[in-house]
Amino acid sequence: MSMKRAGRLPCDAQSGIASNMTVQSGKPGFPGTHFQVAGHELHLVYQPQDRLNAVLQLIAVAQKSIHMFFYMFCADETGRQVRDALIAAAKRGVHVQLIIDSFGSTQVTNRFFDALLDAGGNYHSFSTRKGFGYLIRNHQKMLIIDGAHALVGGFNIADAYFGRAGDDSWEDLGIIVSGPQAQRLSNYFEDMAQASNDGDVRFRQIRNIIRQWRPGIGQVQWLLGGPTNRISPWALTFKRSLDTGKRFDIVSAYFSPSQSILRRLAKTAKRNKGSRLILAGKTDNGATIAAARVLYRYLIRRKTGIYEYQPRPLHMKLMVIDDTVYIGSANLDVRSMFINLEIMVRIKDAALALHMRALIDGLASQSEAQTRILLKKRDTIWSRFKSGLAYFLVNTVDYTIGRRIKFRLIRNR
């Protein structure tokens, strides 16, 4: 996704059990399906109400600190509900620090957060709405509580991400990670807050934060992406997983990967049948669907199963390669791989991967399979022109402009 504001709408399963992991539904504390992996408590929050409850319950249990970074924050019912929860936390003495992206949150004003500041909370936008920095987006979504619990995912703070926009509500996913890795993410947030204080973003400092980040060697890792002069660290790790992987099951809201990633997807699918992509059949920008369709024939010829999700707009970012699961904010598009700031959690566990594939089975059952017959039926001179133009705009124009702006900012700041 490139020529758009990600996830923009008007603001108004089965599971397996491994020896090192247990699964149960409805564990007291946080909503969603509960897992234990390598000393971490994990809660998958998939249903819209579970996602909202996760945000509100995490804020409610905070005793020391709340670190919150979201791409989009709307002044709608959900935005007011979350803001008021943050205000209540600040009034009871919790250190509250909120950062939103100025590009993604154009429909909310600074005045909306005055009551949070009055209560003792901290708030600023990532970059101002002036200058080239406005186009370098912090696409991350994270909520970190007391350095002990970290929620990441694809959803933003707006009604459409919690089932409150009817048929226009987004299909999405999040995960709460409780354990040692949560503190590392809290430290990262502090560094990012300092590097973007008052909207004065120091891109060279952010580049160094991304470059120096080490995800660790355990089963639970945080992978970052950002405006460096090379492919994002999260995308590099993902690419290496494809090099050795036997099968992938991927849900991606926006699909226009680099040629390097595209070739690896094709090789993995060709080596072993069963690899599949669940992509958007509905979204907020039809150009992104048209751009993705340019790649369908190439992948289908190499035995990739491709499905377009039909019930509602798709915003999920979920990638499963063999026994490894990736969940977070990054799409499989060139902006997420090279330009945007992104966060993905990588969890290596066979049972978790099995559980997520069951979730993907459910999405596939509600999707339209993309076949050669369907592609031929849809193929006209006009459709080819539109798809080609969309691909050019999404993969070439936006990437080239974003990349040049990124390098200029890094040199000058």
- Whole-angstrom distance, CA of residue 137 vs CA of residue 342: 9
Q: What is the pLDDT of residue 12?
A: 42
Q: What is the pLDDT of residue 22?
A: 41
23 confidence band (pLDDT: 50, 70, 90): very low
pTM for the structure as a whole: 0.86
32: left (phi over 0), alpha (psi -120 to 50) or beta: left
Is pLDDT larger for residue 17 or for residue 57? 57
Q: What is the pLDDT of residue 208?
A: 86
- Whole-angstrom distance, CA of residue 61 vs CA of residue 166: 30
Taking each helix axis as running N to C, give the angle between helix 398-412 and helix 203-212, from 0 to 180 degrees, rounded to the nearest 10: 100
The answer to whether 160 and 169 have CB atoms below 8 angstroms apart is yes
pLDDT of 188 above 60 = yes
pLDDT of 390 above 50 = yes
pLDDT of 402 above 60 = no
Average pLDDT value for residue range 380-386 = 69
401 confidence band (pLDDT: 50, 70, 90): very low
Give the helix/strand (H/E) hosting 44: strand 40-45
Cα 162 to the center of its chain, rounded Å? 15
DSSP state of 198: G
The DSSP code sequence of 50-66 is: HHHHHHHHHHHH-SSEE
286 confidence band (pLDDT: 50, 70, 90): confident
Phi, psi of 138 (to 5 degrees): -90, 100
Residue type, 27: K
SS3 200: coil
339 confidence band (pLDDT: 50, 70, 90): confident
Domains and CATH numbers, the chain: 33-201 (3.30.870.10), 217-413 (3.30.870.10)
132 confidence band (pLDDT: 50, 70, 90): very low
16 confidence band (pLDDT: 50, 70, 90): very low
Lowest mean pLDDT among 105-114, 146-155, 297-306: 105-114
pLDDT of 399 above 80 = no
Phi, psi of 34 (to 5 degrees): -100, 140
Q: What is the pLDDT of residue 410?
A: 37
